[in-house]
Structure 1
Amino acid sequence: MRIRLVGLVTSALILSCSTLHAQQPALQPAQDSKVFRPDQSVLASPAPQGAIVLLDAKSHQFLSMSGEGIDWKRQDDGLVATKSENRVNHIVSQWHFQDADIHVEFTVSELAEGNSGIYIHGNYELQIFNSFGKKEITDHDQGALYGFSKPLVNASKEPGQWQVYDIRYRAPRRDDKGKITEPGEVTAWLNGQLVQDRTRFEEPKSVYHPFRYGTTDYLKKIGKQQLATSVGPVFLQDHGSPTRFRNVWILPLDDKAILYKN
């Protein structure tokens, strides 16, 4: 009888654990790096629950490259990139993150080829460029992970029209010496079309990213922290063109996001 009772209890525990496991909620899209298909049919699209809004019609959470106030002009419900002599007047988010979904709405200008970009962690650029109508596209065109991977399709709209990027970013993992142990990965949708599909990358290639070109003491501190933690900001790029931005937010995919204090 005792042996039988133990057997019954054991069976009940196994069944209970199996039932509990089966009842666990499925991962939501924001948690599952393999499921990412944002709805880009309506702009401006509202930020989802849990998102950190970096730019809306009333406020922003960006600083200059030196960690001070920005001089980009407010226009309607967003900001317009203000060019500098050396094209290094980027703005940097005060919120830093490791892995996140990133949403950016923008318009390109015909001036300076509409050149701008989204520097994720200051190292990896999703290109903004006037690529509308181009038949042959490269890793310098809009939709590219600049210097790494050309877009799968040319999804660019005409200059002056609102466009949208939705990006799922997984940061490279590094050891205690700052060496990459696992590549990073990015999936990006542009104007309703998939332009990067789990593209992998390691060390940055561009000599013009903010930690190498026109850098500041403020950015050097951020860069050092980033090597140690894989946590960093997102930059909106000045490349001489009056690119307009609005409705910028991030949705962290982990618990690593912080409001950076200098």
Structure 2
Amino acid sequence: MMRIVLCMTFLVFTQSAWADGANVSTSAGFAPEQDALPVPPPDGAIVLFDGAGTNRFLSKSGDTVNWPIEQGSLVSARGQSRSNHIVSALHFRDADIHVEFMLPPKGPGNSGIYIHGNYELQILNSQGVKEPEMQHMGAVYGFAKPLVNAALPPGQWQVYDIRYRAPRRNDKLEIVEEGSITAWLNGQLVQKDTRFGEPRSVYHPYRYNTTDYLKKIWERQKKNQTGPVFLQDHDAAVRFRNVWVKPLDERAFFYEP
């Protein structure tokens, strides 16, 4: 049996809910500090992983994750068909998302951040790429290539800060207002007010090698526009640390088996 645990008493909101309406900007006033890593979570942020005992991620089946923790970092572990993703117990609608990561010294270092399971901020060894495309670091995979190539070499800590506004749906579950993403990578703006509608990838977690647990989340998500963030397995031992989410409205809660 699933249970929904409301956690409003644990969340401190410093921004009021955004009003619904077209052309809401996710870039206005969003200039995160990324010069010195790790970046401390701000007031109102919910820590998902800190390497010191807090780990609010679950497996795709809602069980304990099997990604190892090494030297305070959560390391992506290979699974069946490149789909051993992990999913946050925290669900939210609109939010700021912070993820620090390190690519392995060899290989493509392929991974990603699936926001609401549908929209992927790409992680990939893209250093030196002169004209990055939609498969390179900084892209919203399948929707928009990065504005610049901000990728650092493997073996260095890198950082994404993402402001996410979920698509709005009507009672028929049709998108009536596109979502929006603004993203900073390693101190450079890589996405600005990037709009998106229905998911495009056939490989996102709700479609490819999915589970009953994720199917329930997806059905609920379409109705309420609230969902988790995933860290992607794509056969690369990418390291993650200091992962936190700051909800931008009052809809965040924990959803656990």
TM-score when normalising by structure 2: 0.89
Match in the other structure for 1:120: 115
Match in the other structure for 2:134: 139
Match of 1:69 among 61, 64, 81: 64
AA of the residue aligned to 1:85? Q
- Cα distance, 1:111–1:86 mapped onto 2, change above 3 Å: farther
Distance 1:49 1:69 in 2: 28
User: What is the alpha-carbon root mean square deviation over aligned residues?
Assistant: 1.6
Match in the other structure for 2:46: 52
Does residue 164 of structure 1 match 2:159?
A: yes
Does residue 239 of structure 1 match 2:220?
A: no
Match in the other structure for 1:254: 249
- Cα distance, 1:154–1:73 mapped onto 2, change above 3 Å: same
Q: Secondary structure at the match of 2:183?
A: strand
TM-score when normalising by structure 1: 0.87
Does residue 228 of structure 1 match 2:217?
A: no
CA drift at 1:30: 10
Unaligned stretches of 5+ in structure 1?
A: 1-26
- Contact 2:15–2:248 under 8 Å retained in 1: no
- Contact 2:101–2:159 under 8 Å retained in 1: yes
- Contact 1:29–1:36 under 8 Å retained in 2: no
Unaligned stretches of 5+ in structure 2?
A: 1-13, 19-24
- Contact 1:111–1:241 under 8 Å retained in 2: no
AA of the residue aligned to 1:206? S
- Contact 1:141–1:150 under 8 Å retained in 2: yes
Match in the other structure for 2:4: none
Deviations 1:83-138 (A, max 9, x none): 11311100000000000000000011244411000000000000000001111210
Aligned residues: 236
Map 1:13-162 → 2, pairs under 5 A: 33=26, 34-58=28-52, 59-162=54-157
Match of 1:189 among 184, 189, 195: 184
AA of the residue aligned to 2:49? L
Q: Secondary structure at the match of 2:96?
A: strand
Structure with higher RCO (Cα < 8 A, 6+ apart): 2
- Contact 2:96–2:246 under 8 Å retained in 1: yes
**Following TM superposition, where does structure 1 have runs of at least 4 consecutive aligned residues deviating by more than 6 angstroms?**
27-32
State, as a whole percentage, how many aligned pairs show the same letter.
59
